[in-house]
Amino acid sequence: MDSRPLTVSSTTVRRPSSTVGFVRAVGAVAWKDLTAEYRSRELFSSMLVFSLLVILIFNFALELDIKTRQSVTSGVLWVTFAFAGTLGLNRSMAVEKDRGCLDGLLLAPVDRAAIYFGKVISNLAFMLIVEIVILPVYSFLYSVNLFNPGLLMVILLGSIGYIAVGTLLASMAVQTRTRDVLLPILLFPVAIPVLIAAVKASGGYLNGDEFSMILPWINLLIVYDIIFVAIAFMVFDYVVEE
Amino acid sequence: MINNPNRPLRVFLCHASNDKPIARALYKRLIANGIDVWFDEEKLLPGQYWRDEIPRAVLDSDAVVICLSKNSVSKEGYLQKEIKAALDAADEKPENTIYLIPVKLEECEVPYRLRSWQWVNLFFDGNNFDESSYSKLLRSLETRAKAVGAAVSVAVQNTSVNEIKKPDENKTLNEDLSLNMKQAILQPEMKEPTPKIYEHNKRLTQNREKEVNLISQKPQNIVSKNIATKPTGQFSPQNKTSDKVEDKRDSKPTTLKVLDIVSVLLLAVSTYLALIYAPEEATMGQVQRVFYFHIATAWVGMLGFLAAAVAGIVYLRTQNPKWDIIEVAAVEISLVFFFITIVLGSIWARPVWNTWWTWDPRLTTAAITELIYIAYFMLREGIEDPDRRARFGAVYALVGSLSVPITFFSIRLFRTIHPVVIGSADPSATGTFDMTGGMQVAFFFALFAFTVIFIDLFWNRIRMGNLAAKVEQLKLKVMR
């Protein structure tokens, strides 16, 4: 279904000895996922519908009237993104595992890190697409203006951190007996700093706070992103090793 | 096996066919001492199906003497199967039973599966065995005979040894049969259940063997209480102090036992200091006494957390299962101590902060750490393959240990009300106090006591992990 070998075999036969080769391998893995998703649209539709439902439920749970909206919008948005992200991460890895596609990927003569970054890029793409759809819908439903370049940057930074560590943990979770049930349990406690920082920074932008007040949170987001991309890059080999 | 008090001790003599002349000499000596020795050229009747007969003989014996020489150690052949049958039978005996007795006929390397058993050097000079070594072997057999209620006559009837014929003259039909058949019919065997688990356990075994070798070089560890040792001056160092063939590798080290007792005493003293000795705090009153153990347990929790992260990194680099055991030990201890810290903190917070719980950075961080640890164990639960379980555990411990400090800083960007007793005090914190002399004594003593307790628990837990790995290994052996 999703994961026909597609372009992988044709573009990654050469062992990448250079940066160019590495980038090509990353691109091939990401492109494979995006093409598969473009053809099935399974992941995107489920993530989107799920996000809308979460927002709907929050509406009833929190009584999102005008006053509360101001203070909770960033929280609601990030909880929605986190849940949808978990859904996407699980699906993207489960698809690889189901038909032995992961083994095929690992057999490809490319650096394992290229597979990791390819996966990160495709997962990040799915999450960003969902966010791009959700933001206007939320603005429309609750008449809050979410089009703020700062906010969009925070959402990007937060998503990168969340997906960086999420991709690593998802590739561990799919190899366990409990599979997708385990991912949120593994991911949420580890991803708490990124969620806190993202919620705080988004809240700052929505409330029109001064940049100096938001800056520490953005710094924290950047630090988190760097640390977790680096660590995942270093340990990914051990996670997919057979 | 019937326990007839007058029956002779049954001994299986396991040897390579190339060592037949020496084995025959040993056989005659043992027979002279009234031992019923199963020796293939005597006991196997022409036409008997020896492949069935030999394992049965091993099972029927009270003890198995394994003759080791350069021939037997390096040789592939039925001997290895006999040794395996004997090892399997030895696994079913209670600990400290003398059952397997490796006998070195010449200087050679002891196969590693046999190294756990004390061997005896019984060198043969062509005519005679070294008498003192032989009497040691005999004493071992005697001890075994007492245990199973069989008889051995110790009176040395030194008759037959010199009358050995040259091997060529003595070649019977039987021996030809066994020689030829043994070499002809051998087939590779051993189906391993799950190769990965087997590999993993093999690595563990190798580690343990190294330790066992170290131990067996220390004479005091294998001193036998039952049998008086006679100095003879002819023994190799391994045999100087031990007559009893014994395996002590699983008993608790004395240092650890002492540490157990010291830990309990320290805990008692520390309790006294915290609850009685230390002066009462002026504003908070008695509840402040919780503080001593609260900090001490938090400190231990941090230690365990660090130890787990370090062990995780080392495991990923070395892939040595020992570090996995250490990591699990550290995480388990840390999980419990952080929980105690949280409970003690809540008890203190109720009167001082007027709430059981608040989302203060330290409290939140402690709670998240607990959640990460719980997730860690859930992750491990879900993986069957021990190598992968260890790898994933190490990766998650590492990711968690990076995330927790960031969590702490991120929450600290809010204002905290948690008091900072040591270091710079934040004036906005509620419940700050200065430590006076008596308080300091109680405080530092508690820190020290809990550090010792941590080391003690850590050690015990690692030991338990090793034993669990061994049990796992024995289970696999049975499955095979």
Residue ending a domain, choose from B202, B222, B240? B202
B313 interaction partners in chain A (CB closer than 8 Å)? none
Q: By the CB < 8 Å criterion, does A208 face chain B? A: no
Q: By the CB < 8 Å criterion, does A192 face chain B? A: yes
Residue B365 lies in a domain: yes
Measure in Å the smallest separation between the Cα of A216 and chain B Cα atoms: 8
Q: How far is CA B320 from the centre of its chain?
A: 16
Q: Which two tokens stand for residue A174?
A: 């799919």
Q: Please give the residue of chain B at the shortest CA–CA distance from A162.
A: B403
Query: Could you tell me which residues come within 8 angstroms of residue B375 by beta carbon, excluding any fewer than 6 positions away?
Result: A182, A185, A186, A189, B396
Q: Please give the residue of chain A at the shortest CA–CA distance from B316.
A: A238
Residue B357 lies in a domain: yes
Q: By the CB < 8 Å criterion, does A153 face chain B? A: no
Please list the pLDDT of chain B residue by residue as tens digits (480 residues): 444 556 788 888 888 777 777 888 888 888 888 888 888 777 777 777 667 777 777 777 888 888 888 777 766 666 777 777 777 777 777 767 778 888 888 777 777 777 777 778 877 777 777 777 788 888 888 888 877 777 666 544 444 444 443 444 444 444 444 444 444 444 344 444 445 555 555 565 555 555 444 444 444 444 444 444 444 444 444 444 444 444 556 678 888 889 999 999 999 998 888 888 877 776 777 777 888 888 889 889 888 988 999 999 999 999 888 999 999 999 999 999 999 998 988 888 888 788 888 777 778 888 888 999 999 999 998 998 888 899 999 999 999 988 888 877 777 776 555 665 554 445 555 566 666 777 788 888 888 999 999 999 999 999 999 998 889 888 888 886
Within this chain, do residues B196 and B336 fall inside the same structural domain, yes or no?
A: no
Residue B229 lies in a domain: no
Mean pLDDT confidence for A150-179: 92
The upper half-sphere exposure of residue B177, i.e. CA atoms within 13 Å in the direction of its Cβ, equals 14
B413 interaction partners in chain A (CB closer than 8 Å)? 200, 216-217, 220
Contact A95, A2 (CB under 8 A): yes
Which three-class secondary structure state does DSSP give residue A108?
Answer: coil
**Partners of B120 in the beta sheet?**
B103
Q: State how far the Cα of A142 lies from the Cα of A17, in Å rounded to an integer.
A: 52
Within this chain, do residues B347 and B463 fall inside the same structural domain, yes or no?
A: yes
Where residue A37 falls among pLDDT bands split at 50, 70, 90? confident
Residue ending a domain, choose from B202, B223, B244? B202
pLDDT digits (tens, 9 = 90+) for B307-339: 999 999 999 999 888 999 999 999 999 999 999
Q: State how far the Cα of B438 lies from the Cα of B448, in Å rounded to an integer.
A: 15
Q: Please give the residue of chain A at the shortest CA–CA distance from B312.
A: A235
| pLDDT at A187 exceeding the cut of 90 | yes
Q: Please give the residue of chain B at the shortest CA–CA distance from A236.
A: B395
Within this chain, do residues B195 and B287 fall inside the same structural domain, yes or no?
A: no
pLDDT digits (tens, 9 = 90+) for B224-242: 444 444 444 444 444 444 4
Which three-class secondary structure state does DSSP give residue A30?
Answer: helix
Residue B224 lies in a domain: no
Within this chain, do residues B258 and B404 fall inside the same structural domain, yes or no?
A: yes
Q: By the CB < 8 Å criterion, does B371 face chain A? A: yes
Mutate to test the interface with A, among B374, B401, B402, B408 (most CBs of A within 10 A): B402
Within this chain, do residues B283 and B194 fall inside the same structural domain, yes or no?
A: no
Is A178 in contact with B382 (Cβ distance < 8 A)? Answer: yes
Within this chain, do residues B180 and B259 fall inside the same structural domain, yes or no?
A: no
Q: How far is CA A159 from CA A34, A44, B383, B421, in A?
A: 18, 16, 29, 38
Within this chain, do residues B261 and B407 fall inside the same structural domain, yes or no?
A: yes
Tokens 């959700």 label which residue? A134
pLDDT value of position B312: 93
Q: What is the 3-state secondary structure (H, E, C) of chain B?
A: CCCCCCCECEEEEECCHHHHHHHHHHHHHHHHCCCEEECHHHHCCCCCCHHHHHHHHHHHCCEEEEEECHHHHHCCCHHHHHHHHHHHHHHHCCCCCCCEEEEECCCCCCCHHHCCCCCEECCECCCCECHHHHHHHHHHHHHHHHHHCCECCCCCCCCHHHHCCCCCCCCCHHHHHHHHHHHHHCCCCCCCCCHHHHHHHHHHHHHHHHHHHHHHHCHHHHCCCCCCCCCCCCCCHHHCCCCCCCCCCCCCCHHHHHHHHHHHHHHHHHHHHHHHHCCCECCCEHHHHHHHHHHHHHHHHHHHHHHHHHHHHHHHHHCCHHHHHHHHHHHHHHHHHHHHHHHHHHHHHHHHCCCCCCCCHHHHHHHHHHHHHHHHHHHHHCCCCHHHHHHHHHHHHHHHHHHHHHHHHHHHCCCCCCCCCCCCCCCCCCCCCCCCHHHHHHHHHHHHHHHHHHHHHHHHHHHHHHHHHHHHHHHHHHHC
Q: Please give the residue of chain B at the shortest CA–CA distance from A177.
A: B382
Q: By the CB < 8 Å criterion, does A23 face chain B? A: no
Residue B15 lies in a domain: yes
- CATH number of the domain encompassing residue B181: 3.40.50.10140
- In this complex, the residue of A175, A185, A224 whose CB is nearest that of residue B375 is A185
Q: By the CB < 8 Å criterion, does B91 face chain A? A: no
Q: State how far the Cα of A156 lies from the Cα of B288, in Å rounded to an integer.
A: 46
Q: By the CB < 8 Å criterion, does A106 face chain B? A: no
Q: By the CB < 8 Å criterion, does A67 face chain B? A: no
* Structural domain harbouring B50: 10-202
A179 interaction partners in chain B (CB closer than 8 Å)? 382
pLDDT value of position A120: 94
How many domains does the structure of chain B reveal?
Answer: 2
- pTM of the predicted structure, to 2 decimals: 0.62
Output phi, psi for B100, to 5 deg. -95, 130
Q: Where would I find the H helices in chain A?
A: 8-11, 19-40, 42-62, 66-98, 101-107, 112-142, 149-173, 182-206, 211-240
Within this chain, do residues B270 and B127 fall inside the same structural domain, yes or no?
A: no
Residue ending a domain, choose from B162, B184, B202? B202
Residue B39 lies in a domain: yes
The burial class, CB within 10 Å (0-12 / 13-18 / 19+), for B319 is middle
Q: By the CB < 8 Å criterion, does A212 face chain B? A: no
A183 interaction partners in chain B (CB closer than 8 Å)? none
| pLDDT at A233 exceeding the cut of 70 | yes
Q: Please give the residue of chain B at the shortest CA–CA distance from A217.
A: B410
- In this complex, the residue of A173, A188, A220 whose CB is nearest that of residue B410 is A220
Interface confidence: ipTM more than 0.85: yes
Q: How far is CA B465 from CA B255, B316, B324, in A?
A: 18, 19, 9
- In this complex, the residue of A185, A188, A190 whose CB is nearest that of residue B399 is A190
A192 interaction partners in chain B (CB closer than 8 Å)? 368, 403, 407, 410
Within this chain, do residues B291 and B187 fall inside the same structural domain, yes or no?
A: no
Q: In 3D, which of B315, B319, B348, B349 has the Cα closest to residue B331?
A: B315
Q: By the CB < 8 Å criterion, does A191 face chain B? A: yes
Measure in Å the smallest separation between the Cα of B406 and chain A Cα atoms: 6
Contact B325, B410 (CB under 8 A): no
B382 interaction partners in chain A (CB closer than 8 Å)? 176-179, 182
Of B192 and A87, more confident: A87
